Amino acid sequence: MSWWGKILGSTFGFMIGGPIGALLGAALGHNFDKGLELQGGTDGFNPGSQERVQTVFFTASFSVMGAVCKADGQVTKDEIEIARQVMGQMQLSAEQRKAAMALFSEGKQENFPLVDVLEQLRREIGQRHNLKRMFLEIQLYAAFADGSVHDKERALLLKACSILRISQHEFAQMESAIGAQFHHQKGASGQSTALSLEDAYALLNVEESDSTAEIKKAYRRLISQHHPDKLVSKGLPEEMMKIATDRTHEIRQAYEKIKKERNF
């Protein structure tokens, strides 16, 4: 049974605990954070299990997304639309979509425990670095919804990087790549334009002066980081596979653009 199926099952014999458990419980109307932790067995979410990480990732992604969108003082229609687009990409069921919107709303609250949520996410993810990157990329999609990342949004995301132990340099690369992707796709409008060479370099986190060998290496690294099956095996909810798939498509487009331009 999937992680979501277990949540909606008749037996709630597991406990996520902490602020993430409280958020999920509030979103679904259950006191998961006050339940009994199941030690072993086949029906529970044991610490470090794939299904447990998937549940935590889903809960943190949409609640922190609400906090990111509210960081600059107000949540715009574009930001709400981006949240809905992410849910659309995931092809969420009616119950999942309702829970995701409830989590998004929780994240907009003044008393949202951002630091506690991120620290719990880091503990649950452990050493799955590519999963941390995917989490931050999803937050960057939300931040870019209205065209640019505002200073307060960036400050919040940098705080997230510090807690998740991702360097500012790596974050800057992600911001540049996601920004180029939004420039290509025209953000929430969904009207794609021709991918420019400048955006292609940004999407691969390379410079025009880099050698062909460096560009190939960067491409292979990004494809590996965003491989949907690998991410799911590390705890990405299956429903988010489409996001990773779309990201790899953009990376391949960028690589083919540069490859054609430089004739290698």
- Distances in Å between the Cα of 80 and the Cα atoms of 59, 113, 143 are 17, 21, 11
Residue 256 pLDDT exceeds 90: yes
Which of 40-44, 65-69, 206-210 shows the lowest per-residue confidence on average (mean pLDDT)? Answer: 40-44
The CA-atom distances, in angstroms, between 141 and each of 55, 70, 126, 186, 217 are 20, 14, 23, 12, 25
**What is the percent of the chain with per-residue pLDDT over 70, rounded to a whole number?**
85
Predicted pLDDT at 154: 96
Place 87 in a pLDDT band, splitting at 50, 70 and 90: confident
Alpha-carbon gap, residue 4 to 8, rounded angstroms? 6
For the chain, the domains span 3-262
Q: Are 74 and 143 in contact (CB under 8 A)?
A: no
What is the model's pLDDT at position 30? 62
Higher local confidence (pLDDT), 175 or 51: 175
pLDDT at position 206: 93
Question: Binning pLDDT at 50, 70 and 90, where does residue 46 land?
Answer: low
* Residue 38 pLDDT: 34
Length of the chain: 264
Residue 43, pLDDT > 60, answer no
Instruction: Note whether 160 and 65 are within 8 A (CB).
Output: no
Distance spanning both ends of the chain, measured CA to CA: 47
Task: State yes or no: pLDDT of 264 exceeds 50.
Answer: yes
In whole angstroms, give the CA distance from residue 2 to residue 234. Answer: 14
**Which tops the pLDDT comparison, 98 or 37?**
98
Q: Is the pLDDT of residue 8 over 90?
A: no
Contacts for 30 with CB less than 8 Å, ≥ 6 apart: 12, 24
User: Please, which pLDDT band fits residue 9 given cuts at 50, 70 and 90?
Assistant: low
Q: How many CB atoms lie within 10 A of CB 185?
A: 17
Rounded CA separation 48/255 (Å):
35
pLDDT exceeds cutoff 50 at 44: no
Rounded to 5°, the CA angle 59-100-21 comes to: 30
Instruction: Say what the pLDDT of residue 12 is.
Output: 42
Name the pTM for this structure: 0.84
Structure tokens at 33: 């954070």
Mean pLDDT of the chain: 84
Kindly report which listed range (98-102, 107-111, 223-227, 229-233) carries the lowest average pLDDT score. Answer: 229-233
pLDDT at 41: 37
Residue 37 has pLDDT above 50, yes or no: no
In whole angstroms, give the CA distance from residue 11 to residue 163.
33
Q: What is the pLDDT averaged over residues 196-225?
A: 94
Of all helices (H) and strands (E), which one includes residue 100? helix 94-107
Question: What was the pLDDT predicted at 191?
Answer: 58
